[in-house]
A and B are shown apart, each in its own frame.
Chain A
C-alpha cells in the first residue's frame, strides 16, 4: 500500500515539470553556478508554467493544490543538481507566512505576484550573533505614527540578492520578555533604508544568492505586519514543522540521487579483469546497506508527509527527520565519493557539487544540534 497517493494529475504535473527542468533549467545550471545567482527570468518562467506557490490558496492567486505538488517540485528540482532556484523555500516556507498571517490586503497584494514569479521572497531571521539562539536577535522595529522603523542586520539570507519581498523578524525594544518581543514584517525591495550587503561565498550552494541584509531607519507602513505584534515567535514555531519537513524531503531526494549515481558507477566501472565494481562483495554490501537506509528514509519521510497533509502535529517527528535525513546525506554522499574515488574529486564528475551542497543541510533551518534539543525537550528528557 502506498503511503502517498499520487494521482494521474500529480504524475502529469511531475512529467511536465521534469521536461521543463530538462529544457530550461539543467542547460543553464553550470552558468548559474558560475554566476552565483539564478536570473529572475528563470523564476518568472517557473511561475508562468505554474510551478510556484502550488500550495497557496486559489482565492488569493495561488494554485490551491495539495502539498504533494510541493513534494514533487522539491524532488524534480533536486534532480537538476543545483540549489539556486530555491522554489521550495519561496513557495513552501516563506509564502506560507503571508498566507497564514497576512491581512486580506497583504494576501491580495502579494500572493498573485509570488505565484507568477514576479515576486521572489526571502525570510530574514538569522543575525551574526543570533543563529541557533533566535531570541538573541538585535534587529529592532519601532512604531512611529503610521510607520514602523526597522534597524539592524541579517545574515545568511537565502535569495538575499534576488528577493523582491523579505519577511523580516525584528524585536520590539520596549518589550520586557524577549520571547514575546518579536514581530514579522514585510519589507519590499526598494524601500529606503533597506540595502544588501555582501553576496557571501560558500562551500556549496553556488547558484544560490546568499547575502547579508541591512536595515537603517527603514520605514515601512504599519499594515506590513504579519499577524499580531510580538507574536512572531509563535508564528515561527508554527511554521517550522513544514520548513523542517521540506529539509527532510530535500535530503531524502538527494540521498536517492547520490545512490543512483553510485550504483550506475559501480555497475559500469570494471577492473582490469573486466569485473564490475558492483560484483566485489565489499562494494556490493555497501550499496545494499545504503539502499536499505535510503528505503528506511523514504518510508519515514512519506509517513511524515502524510501526517502533515492530514493536519497532524508532528513537530517532534519532523525535528527527528530533519536531523536524521540531513545526517544521512553526509554519510551517503561521503560513501558515494569513496566508491567513485579520485575521479569524484573533479567538479566535472558532478557528484562533487552534490557533496559540497549537502554539507549545509545539517546546519541550516536549525542545526541538527537544535533539532535534538527540541526533541529532547518535547519528550520530557
Chain B
C-alpha cells in the first residue's frame, strides 16, 4: 500500500495550482459570484489544459484517467476559490451518466463538447415538493413510435438555463413493484421544443452557475436518447451518485484547505491585546481541529476515489465520504470566519463564500440524513 501521489498525479496537481495562481483573480471572482456570471474565459483555459473531463477517454478529449485525478483537480480549483472551482467542476454536471452508461454514439456526441467547454450539461433528477427520494418519479417517459415523449417538472436543476443537454430521470414503468425496474435515464438536447426554464435565482453557493426549475412538456426524443437499457435508471442514478459524492468530497476538501490557509495567513498577522491571534491558546486548539478535520476528510476522499478507480466503491463508502468531507468543510470554514471576526462576515475577505459553498455541497446530492440512510442501507438494510 502506498499513500503517496505518483509522479504524474503530482504533475497534474502542480499544473492546476499554477493555473489557479495565474488565472484566478480575487476581484473577478468576487464580482462573478455576486453577479451570478460564468467565468467563460477561465473555463476555456481549463479545457485547453485538459482539466475538464480528464477522466474521459482520449478520443473524447480526455486523458483516460480516473476519478482520483479528477478529484485532485477539483480539490486544487476549489482551494484557490470555492465558487470558481465549483463553476468549473460542475459545468459538466451529469456528463458521467453518458460516460459510464452511454453508448459510443452518445459519448461521441456529448462528451467531446463538455471537455471542450462548449456545452454545459445538467442532471435533472429532483422533483418539486419531493424530498431527496429517487424511487418514484412524477416525470414520465412514454413510448412514442420509435422514440419517447417526456412530461414532468424537475426542480433546482443546476445549469438548467444553460444546458446543452439534460440527463433526465423518468418513470417508464408505473407497474414495476420495485424502483430498480421503474425508472429510465434519457439525454434531452437543450434546444428540444417543449422545455421551459424558470430561473431559481440566487442560492447559497455555486452562484456562478445558474439553476432552474425545468418543465418538460411533450418533449420528444429519439430511441437513441435512452441511456443504457429501459428500467436501468434507478441503478444508474445511484451509481452516478457514488462517483459524484466522491467528487463533491474532493471539492469540500479543497474548500476547507483554502479557507484554512486564508485563516492561517490572517492569524499570523492580526494582533489583538498586544499579540498575534496565532499566539492565543484557543487559536491553537481551533487550528488543531481544523487541521485534523481536513486530514481525515482528504484521506477518506482519496481512499474512496482510489476504490472507485479499482471498480470497488460501494454506496456506503461514497456516502460516508461525502458526509464526512462536507462536515469537515463546514467546520473548517465556520472557524475561518470566526478567526477573521467581523471581517469574516464581509464579502471582500472571501471566507464567507467558502462557507456558503461548503454548505451548498453539504446539502447537494442528499443532505446528511440521506447519506446516513444510504450508509445504513448497506449495513443493516437486508434485515427483515
Q: A214 at interface (Cβ–Cβ under 8 A)?
A: no
| Complex partner residue of A201 from B205, B342, B347, B356, CB under 8 angstroms | B347
Complex Cα–Cα for A73 and B273 (A): 36
User: Given the known A-B contacts A132-B341, A269-B129, A341-B131, are A346 and B363 also in contact in the complex, defined by CB atoms under 8 Å?
Assistant: no
Specify which chain B residues have a CB less than 8 angstroms from the CB of A129 in the assembled complex: 271
Q: B360 at interface (Cβ–Cβ under 8 A)?
A: yes
Whether B337 pairs with A359 at a CB distance below 8 angstroms is: yes
Whether B132 pairs with A131 at a CB distance below 8 angstroms is: no
Whether A346 pairs with B330 at a CB distance below 8 angstroms is: no
| Complex partner residue of B364 from A126, A280, A342, A355, CB under 8 angstroms | A342
Q: B136 at interface (Cβ–Cβ under 8 A)?
A: yes
Spot the interface stretch: B44-52, B246-254, B307-315, B365-373.
B365-373
Specify which chain A residues have a CB less than 8 angstroms from the CB of B273 in the assembled complex: 132-133, 136
Q: A348 at interface (Cβ–Cβ under 8 A)?
A: yes
Whether B341 pairs with A131 at a CB distance below 8 angstroms is: yes
Q: B22 at interface (Cβ–Cβ under 8 A)?
A: no
Whether B337 pairs with A347 at a CB distance below 8 angstroms is: no
| Complex partner residue of A272 from B130, B201, B342, CB under 8 angstroms | B130
Whether A338 pairs with B367 at a CB distance below 8 angstroms is: yes
| Complex partner residue of A330 from B334, B344, B360, CB under 8 angstroms | B334
| Complex partner residue of A271 from B133, B348, B356, CB under 8 angstroms | B133
Least Cβ distance of B378 to chain A in Å?
A: 16
B365's nearest neighbour on chain A, judged by CB, is A342
Least Cβ distance of B383 to chain A in Å?
A: 16
A360's nearest neighbour on chain B, judged by CB, is B345
Specify which chain B residues have a CB less than 8 angstroms from the CB of A352 in the assembled complex: 203-204
User: Given the known A-B contacts A156-B342, A204-B345, A359-B355, are A345 and B369 also in contact in the complex, defined by CB atoms under 8 Å?
Assistant: no
Whether B344 pairs with A346 at a CB distance below 8 angstroms is: no
Q: A203 at interface (Cβ–Cβ under 8 A)?
A: yes
Complex Cα–Cα for A203 and B363 (A): 18
Contact size range, A: 35 or more
Specify which chain B residues have a CB less than 8 angstroms from the CB of A356 in the assembled complex: 204, 356
Q: B232 at interface (Cβ–Cβ under 8 A)?
A: no
Interface size on B, residues (CB 8 A): 50
Whether B338 pairs with A341 at a CB distance below 8 angstroms is: no
Q: B346 at interface (Cβ–Cβ under 8 A)?
A: yes
Specify which chain A residues have a CB less than 8 angstroms from the CB of B338 in the assembled complex: 362-363, 367-369
Whether B360 pairs with A203 at a CB distance below 8 angstroms is: no
Specify which chain B residues have a CB less than 8 angstroms from the CB of A205 in the assembled complex: 345
Specify which chain A residues have a CB less than 8 angstroms from the CB of B259 in the assembled complex: none
Whether A282 pairs with B372 at a CB distance below 8 angstroms is: yes
Whether A126 pairs with B342 at a CB distance below 8 angstroms is: yes
Complex Cα–Cα for A355 and B355 (A): 12
Q: A364 at interface (Cβ–Cβ under 8 A)?
A: yes
Complex Cα–Cα for A347 and B206 (A): 13
Q: A182 at interface (Cβ–Cβ under 8 A)?
A: no
Complex Cα–Cα for A106 and B107 (A): 77
Complex Cα–Cα for A124 and B338 (A): 21
Specify which chain A residues have a CB less than 8 angstroms from the CB of B362 in the assembled complex: 337-338
Specify which chain B residues have a CB less than 8 angstroms from the CB of A126 in the assembled complex: 342
Whether A131 pairs with B272 at a CB distance below 8 angstroms is: yes
Complex Cα–Cα for A131 and B339 (A): 12
- B271-284 CB contact bits vs A (8 Å, 1 = yes)? 11110000000100
Complex Cα–Cα for A320 and B180 (A): 53
Q: Which A residues from 272 to 295 make CB contacts under 8 A with B?
A: 272, 277, 280, 282-283, 286
| Complex partner residue of B345 from A286, A347, A359, CB under 8 angstroms | A359
Complex Cα–Cα for A344 and B334 (A): 19
Whether A369 pairs with B282 at a CB distance below 8 angstroms is: yes
- B202-213 CB contact bits vs A (8 Å, 1 = yes)? 111100000100
Whether A277 pairs with B131 at a CB distance below 8 angstroms is: yes
Whether B201 pairs with A338 at a CB distance below 8 angstroms is: no
Whether A346 pairs with B342 at a CB distance below 8 angstroms is: no
Complex Cα–Cα for A136 and B270 (A): 13
Q: B116 at interface (Cβ–Cβ under 8 A)?
A: no
User: Given the known A-B contacts A131-B341, A132-B341, A364-B342, are A339 and B201 also in contact in the complex, defined by CB atoms under 8 Å?
Assistant: no
Q: B156 at interface (Cβ–Cβ under 8 A)?
A: yes
Q: B118 at interface (Cβ–Cβ under 8 A)?
A: no
| Complex partner residue of A337 from B130, B202, B271, B359, CB under 8 angstroms | B359
A-B contact pairs, 25 of them (CB 8 A): A133-B272, A133-B273, A136-B272, A156-B346, A201-B346, A204-B345, A270-B131, A271-B130, A272-B130, A272-B136, A277-B131, A334-B330, A338-B362, A338-B367, A341-B366, A341-B367, A342-B132, A342-B367, A345-B205, A345-B359, A346-B204, A363-B337, A363-B341, A363-B342, A369-B338
Q: Would you list the 6 A-B pairs with minimal beta carbon distance, nearest first?
A: A272-B136, A203-B352, A133-B272, A201-B347, A341-B367, A345-B204
